[in-house]
Chains A and B, each alone.
Chain A
Amino acid sequence: MTAGEWRGVPNLARRHWQSLWLRRLFQALTWLGVMLLAILLFRIARQGAVWLDWDFLTSFPSRFPARAGIKSALAGTLWLIGLTALISVPVGVAAAVYLEEFSRAGRLKTFIEVNIANLAGVPSIVYGILGLAIFVRGIGLGRSVLAGALTMSLLILPVIIIAAREAIKAVPQSLRQGAMALGATRWLTVRHHVLPGALPGIMTGVILALSRAIGETAPLIMIGALSYVAFVPEGPMDGFTALPIQIFNWTARPQQEFHGLAAGGIIVLLAVLLLMNAAAVAVRHRFQRRR
């Protein structure tokens, strides 16, 4: 063969054809997912939009659909998620820092790691049973929002720990060495270099975990969160209800109007989720710009 001459590549046409069709298949599947979500959102929006107004947000539940609102459920969810974050984030991040930065390899560490991984897969109802036994009855917190938050914290701790560990692992080793070589202790290295570097990843994990907690219904029903609540929790020991429970209750009723109310509740739930995600993105953005 003379130099500069094109050499044939075997099967080229077939491989191009394969590539083209696979691309179309993946595109179709992606769109399928998006379409299903869009249809769902559209149906809910059409059903619930008419019920969505200021009164809906500021009224307590009622037997009369026109007067019913989600004030107590929304407040309950905010309380629940706020307390859950306060409990689970420090504990989860501390556990992750311990496992990644301080603990020594060994059987105990492996045991802890395997357990955390397994806990992440335990069905949420089981956490509900645990919460009922320990928090509601065991230490006598009753059906309070604190008991709910503790139960939710158990539920999402494995997720937070795993996400935080991954984020901490992703901080380059050379940074730790640079800090240590300047006479920093482990803790100062973690505090000034590892945690700030891992923060965006930790935030993502926390938000994902809290998003899961916000939609969980089973463990709340298990620990006996109330279904008809005509007050807003004023402290961690107060009883509460939450958005998913309220939605569930409304959908269980025969009247069409209550189904509309449920759709409205779903929209509010989604809005809260969206706000949380936006907050996470904002924080991430801020920290990434600073470096």
Chain B
Amino acid sequence: MDPRPQGVMMAPELTAAEKPPEKHLREAMPAPILETRKLSIFYGRNEAVKKVSMPVPERRITAIIGPSGCGKSTLLRAFNRMNEFIADVSMAGEVLYRGRNLYGKDVDPVEVRARIGMVFQKPNPFPKSIFQNVAWGPHINGLVPRRELPELVERSLNQAGLWGEVKDRLGESGLSLSGGQQQRLCIARALAMQPEIILMDEPASALDPVSTDRIEDLLFELRERYTIVIVTHNMQQAARVSDYTAFMDLGVMLEFGVTDQVFTRPREKRTEDYVTGRFG
């Protein structure tokens, strides 16, 4: 549970100060678990992502920031082949997962999505019970035998910081939860798949400040065990939670680096203007 007094949560500066930036400062960047090579993505003829090459360091949090429409979500969806459900999408370049091209002929997209989890901007729990929401993914993928599902569900809800709030109502509909709880349920659902990587597309943008805070706390707890890529519009959030930051503009990746560097000593003028709020 959250030890901090309720009133403090509304003030972002205080919250930021209270979270010790125990980041991996000045470390050598861990080997990337995921990497794009000259990745271009087109909607019809419109090139939404232009020759992006970026690493996603293992067991770190990488934030993707940039003005609206610059291609962040498109890039994120390329990491688990979710772009394939959009009509008229084509791509060039590669996405390497542990050195293997995710878009290779021998790769099954269903398997990719089973291994690389995703949390969406708007909480989208299934209209089923809380238990089933979490258990469904592992169940259909045969990750654990049926009798071990309850244990897995408890563990996942615990990791997502939701167990205490829902342990007496696992049979109730996932839709009966509040927005913030629903989003944590969706995170638990992704965690239950025991993925190595979790992709999050503005996971807190539809939430109130208190719920946002809880999600950020959660990211802190998850970062030691998972690789997380998070798209966010919230500069403070990117600065607070991420180890590495990628800045995109008009489909191009302008800058990638350690978060503190990107925010305090950006190499590009454009990045500086954006992170200091001069445009965007």
Give chain A's interface residues, CB within 8 Å of chain B.
Answer: 105, 172, 174-185, 188, 192-193, 196-197, 291
A174 & B193 in contact (Cβ 8 Å cutoff)? no
- B interface bracket (residues with beta carbon within 8 Å of A): 20 to 34
Does B279 reach chain A (CB closer than 8 Å)? no
Q: With the chains together, A180 CA to B137 CA distance in Å?
A: 9
Distance between A113 CB and nearest chain B CB, rounded to angstroms: 16
Q: Nearest chain B CB to A103's CB is how many angstroms away?
A: 12
Contacting pair A105 B113 (CB below 8 A):
no
B60 interfacial contact with A, CB 8 Å: no
CB distance from B242 to the nearest CB of A (A): 21
A185 B110 Cβ-Cβ under 8 A: yes
**Pick the contact of B82 from A172, A175, A177, A193 — CB < 8 Å?**
A177
What's the count of A-B pairs with C-beta under 8 Å? 65
Whether the Cβ atoms of B127 and A174 lie closer than 8 Å is no
Q: Is the CB of A182 within 8 A of B114?
A: yes
Residues of chain B having any CB pair with chain A under 8 Å: 80, 82, 85, 87, 110-111, 113-115, 117-118, 120, 122, 124-128, 136-137, 140-141, 173, 175, 186, 189-190, 193
Expressed in whole angstroms, the minimum distance between the Cβ of B44 and any Cβ of chain A is 13
Q: Is the interface of A mostly helix, strand, loop or mixed?
A: helix
Would B117 and A291 count as touching, CB distance under 8 A?
no
| Smallest CB separation, A25 vs chain B (Å) | 41
CB nearest neighbor in B for A181: B118
Question: Which residues in B have their C-beta under 8 angstroms from that of A176?
Answer: 85
Cα distance A179–B114 in the bound complex, in angstroms: 10
Chain B residues with CB under 8 A of A193 = 126
- Cβ-defined contact, A192 with B136, below 8 A: yes
User: Is the pair B128, A188 in contact by a Cβ cutoff of 8 Å?
Assistant: no
- Point out the residues of chain A lying under 8 angstroms from B111, CB to CB: 183
B120 contacts A174, C-beta separation under 8 Å:
yes
Inter-chain CA distance A185–B117, complex, in Å, is 15
